[in-house]
Structures are given as structure tokens and as C-alpha cells.
Amino acid sequence: MFLKNSIIFFALLFTFSSNIIAEDIYTFSNVEEKNRIADLDFVEFIKDTIILQPEYRKAIARKGEFLANKKYAQRLRFPTLEAQVYNDRTISRDITANDYQSALRKTRDDTFDGIISIDQKIYSGNEINSKVRKAREEMKISDIDRDQIASELVLQAVEIYLNASSAVLISDYASELLSKVSKYRDTAKARFNAGAIENSEFALINIRLSEIEVKATILEANKVQNLSLFFSFYKDDYNKRGLPSLKLSSLDNFEIINLVDTYDQLRSSREVKISEHNLEITKSQYRPKLGFAARFTQYDLDDEAEDQDIRGGFYVNFPVFSFGRGSAQVGAGKAKVQQAKINKDVKSRESKNISANLYGSFLGSLRARDRLLVSYDNVKLQRETFEIRMSGATFSTAALLDAALKEIYFYEQLIENEKKLLMADLNSRHLRRQLLNRFKLVL
């Protein structure tokens, strides 16, 4: 029922929004060309940064660990060859037997022997095969983790870049507008002294100018903060590189219903298999074991004797009774398998929720895009109209400053909405495991 309702819900969303993206849309297309960076230049800049990050290098090193574990598990199939020197000498002897045979039985010769032995396991209760399969699954998980870390680093790098570039753009815009309207303080003062405006209007003009100055100061502080973070992450200055102009995904390609497995879902599936292999390893400890062992002994090495022998044969080790320890340990292993399966279902549900949230964010930002642009254009036109009429008798400085303050606000909202739109698109690609391809990162 839940799946059926989800399909109906998303189908309705697609129906209502099918006319929203009828053509290709690029991010920050409403920003002047001089304040934008080309797609290829932006992708190359991000890609060159990712491979230098310590998190990515750590993921590569972790894969080396699992590769070594895999080699170890595979080589458990090989025989074990050991060399031993056995030195057994009498330190003290006190035998009270009266008859010769009893005394001889209790007396042992001093030995100084060399032994070479080989032990080859033939059947170990499926332990070795399970360890090899487990190591292979861990290798696959390390690949998933590596890709996920790289993809998350791309998101982090893009977000830091967008925060810095947008902060610079908005702050510069507000500062430039402030420099344009600051001159009206002197104009208002002159008109007040001439009696052309009332004291309340003059006070209102000063309040509006102060509000614009405060807003510009806050934006400047935000710019400094984001530029500092940019330098810390990229180890380079921003240098007004510009906002990226990237092509957005279409709603038809959002793939919400038939979503491919996310990184978390892939990992949880592998963890189920690992828990099953761990259960097999536990069971193998209570199964019979079959092997072949051989031993070569060179006697009395210190006397240069030529006595030697070779002994060997098959052996079987069969655990009979462990007082319930085996069944308890196996029961714990089965519980862990069940936990892993439940965790897989949890990750599947979380992925659907995240996907729906991203879709809503993307669709909402897309709908707000044109409205914000219209509002910004209107208030900008209003401010410019007031400036043209500044010499007229009906000119209102307070109205002009109010329009300028609203212009800064709408411009900030317009740029922030573009950031939100782009990050929703990139997070969706990350969820579908397509973000690395978008940034040409082949790992």
C-alpha cells in the first residue's frame, strides 16, 4: 500500500510539473556573464581539488588494508611449513624403583632433534571459503566507501565554492548600491534645512540609509568568513572566479520512482552478506576438520647421528560437546544477520525519504526562480525610476531608499535560490551515484 501510494504521489507531481522544464536550464543564468565561470573550467577546478583531500587519500589507504586481508584469507588454503629444534635434557633425576625395568621405563634419553613439519588443511568446516568471501565483500565495501567519500567531497567543495562566490557577488552588489544612494543623505539634509521636507521624513531617510549600511556590513562580514573557508579548503584565493553555469537535470531524469541503489543501500546489502559469512565462520568452529600432516625428524643433532624418520598421515578433529557454547554463539550470529537485513530496510526507507525531500526542494526552487527574478526586476526598475525623478517636486528619497533596500534583499534571495536549486540537483546526482561522472572523476 505504501509503495502504491508513493507511486501515485510522484506520478501526480510529475504531471503537474511536466511543463516547468520544457527546455534546458542553466544555473545562475540571471547573473551577468562577467560574474560566471564556464562549466568545463568549474568542473576541472573541483576535480583537481578532490584528489588532494586527506579524506580521499584515507579511503584509498583503507582499500589497501582490505586487499591485504583478502590475500591473507586466500593463502589460508596453502599448507603450513614449520621448522623446530627440540632440545630436551635431564636437569635432575631421582628414581627410587628397585627393579631394572621400572627404572628404565622412567628414564628418558637426552635429545637434541631437528624437526620439519607440514600441515595441509583439506576441510575446515567451510571456514576458509567463508573468510575469502567475506574479504571480497569487504573489498567491495571499500570501493563503495571510496566512491561515496569522493562524491561527498564534491558536494562539500561545490558548497564551499558557491558560498564564497555568492557572498562576494551579493556583498559587492550591496556595496555598489550603497555608494550610489549614500549621496542622498546630503541631499536630504539640504532639503530639510531648506524646509522642503519634514523632520519625520528626514529621520526616516536616515533610518533607511542606516538599514542599508547595516545590511552591507553584514554581507561584507559573511563574505570575509566564506572567503576564509574557501582558502582553507582550496589552499588558494578566490580571485572572483565567478558562479558556475551548469545544466540542470530535467524532472524526467530525476528518477525518483525507479531510483537506483544509493551508496548506503549498496553498503547495507554487502553488510548482510558479511554477516552471513561471519555466521558460517562461527559454525565452522563446531564442524569436523580434516587434514594431512607429515613430519621429518633428524635425531641427535649434537652427536652428528644419522638417525632420522618421516612420519605422517591424515587426521580428523571432531568437536563432540561444548556445553552449549556453540549453539549460543551461532544464535548470536543469526541475530546479527537479522539486524543487518533490518538495517538494509532502514537504509532503503531513508533513501526514499531523502529522495522525496530533494525532489521537493528542487521543484520548489524551480518554481520560485521566475517569481524571484520578476520581483527583483520590478523593484530594481522602481529604484531606477525614483533616481530619474530625483529632480522632481514629488521626489521621495525615503521611497528610493526603501526600494534600494528591497532590491538588495530580492537579489540576495535570487542568488540563494539558485544555490539551493543547484545543490538539490547535485545532491540528487549523488543519491543516484551519478555525481562523479558529472565531474569526470573516474576512480
Distance CA 385, CA 400 (A): 9
Distance CA 85, CA 312 (A): 18
Helix axes 397-431, 183-193, angle to 10 degrees: 160
Cell 571456514: give the residue: 127
What confidence score (pLDDT) does residue 95 get? Answer: 62
What confidence score (pLDDT) does residue 63 get? Answer: 84
Q: Are 145 and 64 in contact (CB under 8 A)?
A: no
Instruction: Write out pLDDT tens, residues 300-356.
Output: 777 776 788 899 999 898 888 888 888 899 999 999 999 999 999 999 888 888 888
What confidence score (pLDDT) does residue 94 get? Answer: 66
17 pLDDT tier (thresholds 50, 70, 90):
very low
The residues with which 295 forms a beta bridge, in sequence order, are 117, 311
Length of the chain: 443
Of the ranges 10-24, 107-121, 212-226, 230-244, which one carries the lowest mean pLDDT score? 10-24
- CA angle, corner 16, sides to 13 and 18, nearest 5? 95
Averaged pLDDT, 105-110: 58
Distance CA 237, CA 47 (A): 17
Dihedrals phi, psi of 366, to nearest 5 degrees: -65, -40
Cell 561471519: give the residue: 278
SS3 341: helix
Q: How far is CA 122 from the centre of its chain?
A: 43
DSSP 8-state class, residue 33? G
SS3 442: coil
15 pLDDT tier (thresholds 50, 70, 90):
very low
What confidence score (pLDDT) does residue 194 get? Answer: 75
The CB-based long-range contact list for 92-99 (8 Å cut-off, 24+ gap) reads: none
Sequence-distant (6+) residues with CB within 8 A of 413 are 372, 376
The DSSP result for 300-325, as a single string, is: -GGGT---EEEEEEEEEE-----TTH
Pick the CATH number of 2-13+24-50+127-286+329-438 from 3.40.50.1820, 1.20.1600.10, 3.10.20.70, 3.40.50.2300: 1.20.1600.10
Task: Give the N- to C-terminal CA distance of the chain in Å, as an integer.
Answer: 40
186 pLDDT tier (thresholds 50, 70, 90):
confident
